[in-house]
Structure 1
Amino acid sequence: MSRLSDSSITIYEALQNIEEGKYVMPAFQRQFVWGMEQIEKLWDSILLDYPIATFLFWNVDQSNVTGDTYFCNFLSSVTFDSRKQADTANYELTGINVEDTDTAVLDGQQRLTSLFLSLFGEANLRPKNARRNTGDRILTKLLIELNKNKIAVDEEEYNSKKFDIKFSDKIGKLSPTQFELKNILDDNFRDETTRESAIEEAIVNVPADSKDYARDILNKLYNKIFTEKLIRYTEIKDMKQDDALEMFVRFNSGGKALRKSEITMSILEAYWPSAKTEFGKILVNSYDKFDTDFIIRAALMLYGDVVKSNINKKIAENLKNDWEGFKTALFNVEELLKEMKIDVSRFANSWNVLLPIVYYVYYNSDYKKNLKAVRSYLLRAIFFTYFQSGTTGKLQQMKSNINSFDYEISIEMLDQMNDLRITDGKIEDILNMEKGSRVAGEVMYYLNLDWTNKNFKYEQDHLHPDNRFNEAKPVSVSIDNWKTWRGNRNRLPNLHLLEGRSNGSKSDMRLIDYYNDMNDDQKKDFHNQAMIANDVSLEIDDFDVFYETRKTVLAEKIQMLLK
């Protein structure tokens, strides 16, 4: 069980620990993203006596890290772009010697990096029209104005700086009353016997009415860095990397919240630096709208623990070493779906449903022999919203069942799974789906797959128009029946797919009028495509018979699809 302890050190002690390699960052930390203004405001807050939040440290030693656990050193140099935002920096990945390094920063990277760059590092500005890879940059310095007469503070502006602290690239034109923050590290400031004279020398050009102001700033700056223990931290001991990852995701507090998948990708890159580049070669053409989450989850499905969802060295190396086999599996899944007249791109936002098929195809070289069972799984999972909740558990369930059936997906296997077994209740739930629902759209798509043209756009359309149920009821229909009909008008038995232009021309026409405008061939196609029996009345007065008859037809066709 992890142990927690709270402590505090000075800014200088923390930065010394970074300089000496005692502090590092886990490989799953994200890039440095702060801009110039955020660094300036951090120092402004420090001089205003504001707390700079608690840091979260992870004690690392031989018991909780191994040789395949990677870390990153803190940045000692950063380049800001023309918008004064930090360019994406590639941290250098490294193993650690726990004799020298004992602390990994879980929360506080942005603040500690900013302080380290301000006092121990270097900041540069990339010229406006210079490209990132040209190396063109201008050195900048972090300065504070000591002449209070030059400071213009807008008291009305919310969150404005109260001290004139800013980066400047005009190194040759520095004001004689500006002080570079990192100069406070000079020995003559740190030596108590020479500090007063060093301060007087630093403010020699400051006007008389600002001398006291300037002395106060420099004394305060010294105290904030060397004396006051502003780095308050909680240290976690006896914690493994997987738990550290989980804690990092939960407690990360700076800027944009991180998804666990983003951290997982960072871990993978620590073991395989070119992973994202290789992923990009897959995420094109039919897979172009998928994302790296899909590939990572597929890798966990094939090589690891899909429930735990953590990438380790073994999984990363399996993926890297078997990259061609992995890519082939995805290509084969794409081709398998094509044989079913289904485009894999359809699952760009619902790719969990594909992962059991990826697993099956990867581990079974004779995967094409069970094409109907694979299709049955796919449609049952979609129609029954199998992955609506408990996704990783469901994926593990599929993985275990496929293993139990000798790496097969079979109808027998599906019928043994409560969530995927076909029941009258599930069919009834599907038929009660309403216009606009995802399941209704999916059911209509697959019911009509044989005749729809993928180059056309189809819309869900009412057969008996919706507005007719807002009018007066037919004389022959009771009030109770009319209420029931109104409740059923948006449900699947009164819906069909119609090509967009045809839907526009049909508009709110009565179904019988729409039908009577057709020629004989069009009427034949309409009955087949809309799945309406030839002898059923299309008059609104007979809606109950129409609805129940079509409901029976749809139930039979859905059963056939799922079996």
Structure 2
Amino acid sequence: MSILIDNSISIYEALQNIKTGKYVMPAFQRQYVWSMEQIEKLWDSILLDYPIATFLYWHVDDDNVTWDTYFCNFLSNVTFDSRKQADSTNYELTSINVKVTDTAILDGQQRLTSLYLSLLGDAYIRQKHARKKISGGLVTKLLIELNKNKLDVDEEEYNSKKYDIKFSEKVGRLSPTQFDIKSILNNKFQNESTREKAIEDAIANVPSDSKQYARDVLNKLYQKIFVEKLIRYTEITDMKQDDALEMFVRFNSGGKALRKSEITMSILEAYWPSAKTEFGKLLVDSYAGFGSDFIIRSALMLYGDVVKSNISKKIADELKNNWNTFKKALQDLDSVLRGMKIEVSRFSSSWNVLLPIIYFIYYNPDYAKNMEGIRSYLLRAILFTYFQSGTTGKLQQMKSNINSYDYEITVDMLNQMNELRVTDGKIEDILNSEKGSRVAGEALYYLSLDWINKNFIYEQDHLHPYDRFDGSKPVSVSMEDWRRWRSSRNRLPNLQLLEGRSNGSKNDMRLVDYYNDMNDEQKAEFCKQAIIPDDTSLELENFEEFYEKRKTILADKLRTLLG
């Protein structure tokens, strides 16, 4: 990759390059989002001699783009709503002829589009009650007031305009002292021999005490558009589309920083304009907490390369054309998990773990014959924190392994994978997880699936209260043992899930007292749910026996859960 620095051209040259098709935008550029006020302030900044930031260009040619690399032309007209915000518009995709087009704009789309609309394009304002998405509306022009006595600016207000520049839809009733900025493109202003007379004609109705001000404004406007090289840009050459996407993510500076997934969604919408609408219909009920990232990553898992994470036309078409099959796979996933007493909504912020199951369900119509493999994979991936790092690489690994096992997820397959094989060390790590940790919370949840009520909120609770280990040790316990017990009190063998209100009332009550307050039926239910070892004292002085016996029971249950 080569970088050419400190190139600059005039605004007029840049806009002519847009008009002739020399400049385009990559398909992953976001929507035009500027308001009329932002355009007005851009011109105010230009006339105030403020720099308008550096632009980032990507040089495109036959060596770094292929026939299926798509671009978008700049908007030549935009409709603004009654609040003067730009309507979102789906850009039309096009391939390019590199003999005509050699530059894609990576950073500067909003500014260049705004300048183009002001001088060579058309801006409309939709009336308040007009139906949205109907293109066009009232024509509006960008005007600058030449009578300094009529300037409608607030000198004291921070970030206010210093020139009276504004859009107006009252194009048939312009003040004689207002100048349509687009008029500066007339040949009489561009021609040096006629410019002075053109300016004098334009300011004919300006009061005498404002004529010099008006004259200066128009001369300056001419200089800023045609003479000064205000479009300063860095051009990057020898760069492929994947690198251009990464560059755009890193260097985008147009307001709110964009995540790569947002840009990927923009690419998808370029190929499938109704994608966001269809996503919205799917992301309800069980999937209400999931976002578009989940669907995009699922599509990459099913149809593309999940490591590169780039949406191509092929992937977008696959998702669009197989949308009903895709939706059914997600519905089937929901049913599969419900059959295991697991709510799919539990994964709204950790959905990567679901993607291999979606892949299996999508490509294997007999998936229902292998619930054991699905359950074993899911619980191992969760409790072994498989996706804690290297997520895309591991998703690709799972995809490859499922393919090699005839589109199956099997226990045998999992046992061939070091990070998903059940070992004594991994079981010990789970048992040593502490209250508040993700692993402890997940382990308690899955150990309690048989009795949890989804309508209740459960909390992690110490069986032998944490604070009891801060007081005096039992007389029969050595100081060495007491220190060891204190270090174990926060670990899984001393934890249970308890419904929130019960946890509040239990507080730091001694375990034996909490148990003795129950009737026989409650005691039996408590011992079952909390996995209390039989024939074991619940007195604090017998904590080690209780802890070790319960640890052994939990280890056996975890091994069963993990297949």
TM-score bracket, normalised by the shorter chain, equals over 0.9
How do residues 63-212 of structure 1 correspond to structure 2 at under 5 angstroms?
63-133=63-133, 137-151=137-151, 154-171=154-171, 173-212=173-212
Deviation track 1:238-268 (CA, whole Å, cap 9, x = no partner) reads 3332222222222211111112122222222
What is the TM-score normalised by the length of structure 2? Answer: 0.93
Please identify, of 205-214 and 472-481, the stretch whose mean Cα deviation from structure 2 is larger: 472-481
Secondary structure of the structure 2 residue equivalent to 1:194: helix
Secondary structure of the structure 2 residue equivalent to 1:167: strand
- Rounded Cα–Cα distance in structure 1 between residues aligned with 2:479 and 2:144: 81
How do residues 353-368 of structure 1 correspond to structure 2 at under 5 angstroms?
353-368=353-368
Which residue does 1:510 correspond to in 2? 510
1:425 lines up with 2:421 in the alignment: no
User: Does structure 2 conserve the Cα–Cα contact (< 8 Å) formed by 1:127 and 1:136?
Assistant: no
- Rounded Cα–Cα distance in structure 1 between residues aligned with 2:297 and 2:198: 59
Which residue does 1:542 correspond to in 2? 542
Give the residue type in structure 1 aligned to 2:332.
Answer: N
Deviation track 1:309-331 (CA, whole Å, cap 9, x = no partner) reads 11223323333333333333323
Which residue does 2:263 correspond to in 1? 263
Give the residue type in structure 2 aligned to 1:254.
Answer: G
- Rounded Cα–Cα distance in structure 2 between residues aligned with 1:152 and 1:277: 43
Give the residue type in structure 1 aligned to 2:71.
Answer: F
- Rounded Cα–Cα distance in structure 2 between residues aligned with 1:469 and 1:336: 43
Secondary structure of the structure 1 residue equivalent to 2:162: coil
Deviation at 1:4, TM superposition (A): 4.0
Which residue does 1:42 correspond to in 2? 42
Which residue does 2:450 correspond to in 1? 450
Give the residue type in structure 2 aligned to 1:20.
Answer: T
Give the residue type in structure 2 aligned to 1:252.
Answer: N
Instruction: Please tell me the root mean square deviation across aligned C-alpha atoms, in Å.
Output: 2.3
Deviation at 1:222, TM superposition (A): 0.3
Deviation at 1:395, TM superposition (A): 0.7
Give the residue type in structure 1 aligned to 2:102.
Answer: D
Secondary structure of the structure 2 residue equivalent to 1:258: coil
- Rounded Cα–Cα distance in structure 2 between residues aligned with 1:374 and 1:405: 14
- Rounded Cα–Cα distance in structure 1 between residues aligned with 2:537 and 2:479: 21
Deviation at 1:275, TM superposition (A): 3.0
Secondary structure of the structure 2 residue equivalent to 1:460: strand
- Rounded Cα–Cα distance in structure 2 between residues aligned with 1:136 and 1:37: 19
What is the TM-score normalised by the length of structure 1? Answer: 0.93
- Rounded Cα–Cα distance in structure 1 between residues aligned with 2:433 and 2:158: 51
Which residue does 1:323 correspond to in 2? 323
How do residues 100-499 of structure 1 correspond to structure 2 at under 5 angstroms?
100-133=100-133, 137-151=137-151, 154-171=154-171, 173-499=173-499
Runs (5+) with no aligned partner, structure 2:
none
Deviation track 1:187-246 (CA, whole Å, cap 9, x = no partner) reads 221111111112122222333333222211111110000011111222233333222222
User: Does structure 2 conserve the Cα–Cα contact (< 8 Å) formed by 1:76 and 1:121?
Assistant: yes
1:56 lines up with 2:43 in the alignment: no
Deviation at 1:520, TM superposition (A): 0.7
Deviation track 1:491-526 (CA, whole Å, cap 9, x = no partner) reads 222211112232233233222221111111111111
Give the residue type in structure 2 aligned to 1:230.
Answer: L
Secondary structure of the structure 2 residue equivalent to 1:106: strand
Deviation at 1:352, TM superposition (A): 0.7
User: Does structure 2 conserve the Cα–Cα contact (< 8 Å) formed by 1:130 and 1:136?
Assistant: no
Which residue does 2:29 correspond to in 1? 29
Please identify, of 131-140 and 458-467, the stretch whose mean Cα deviation from structure 2 is larger: 131-140
User: Does structure 1 conserve the Cα–Cα contact (< 8 Å) formed by 2:77 and 2:117?
Assistant: yes
Give the residue type in structure 2 aligned to 1:390.
Answer: G
User: Does structure 1 conserve the Cα–Cα contact (< 8 Å) formed by 2:91 and 2:270?
Assistant: no
Runs (5+) with no aligned partner, structure 1:
none
Deviation track 1:133-168 (CA, whole Å, cap 9, x = no partner) reads 466843332222223333365454433322222223
1:150 to 1:168, Cα distance in 2 relative to 1, 3 A: same
User: Does structure 1 conserve the Cα–Cα contact (< 8 Å) formed by 2:79 and 2:136?
Assistant: no
- Rounded Cα–Cα distance in structure 1 between residues aligned with 2:170 and 2:543: 81
Identity %: 75
Give the residue type in structure 2 aligned to 1:120.
Answer: L
1:85 to 1:519, Cα distance in 2 relative to 1, 3 A: same
User: Does structure 2 conserve the Cα–Cα contact (< 8 Å) formed by 1:145 and 1:165?
Assistant: yes
Deviation at 1:109, TM superposition (A): 0.2
Give the residue type in structure 1 aligned to 2:284.
Answer: V
Give the residue type in structure 2 aligned to 1:89.
Answer: T
Deviation track 1:522-562 (CA, whole Å, cap 9, x = no partner) reads 11111111001122222223323322322222122112211
- Rounded Cα–Cα distance in structure 1 between residues aligned with 2:149 and 2:486: 76
User: Does structure 1 conserve the Cα–Cα contact (< 8 Å) formed by 2:90 and 2:273?
Assistant: no
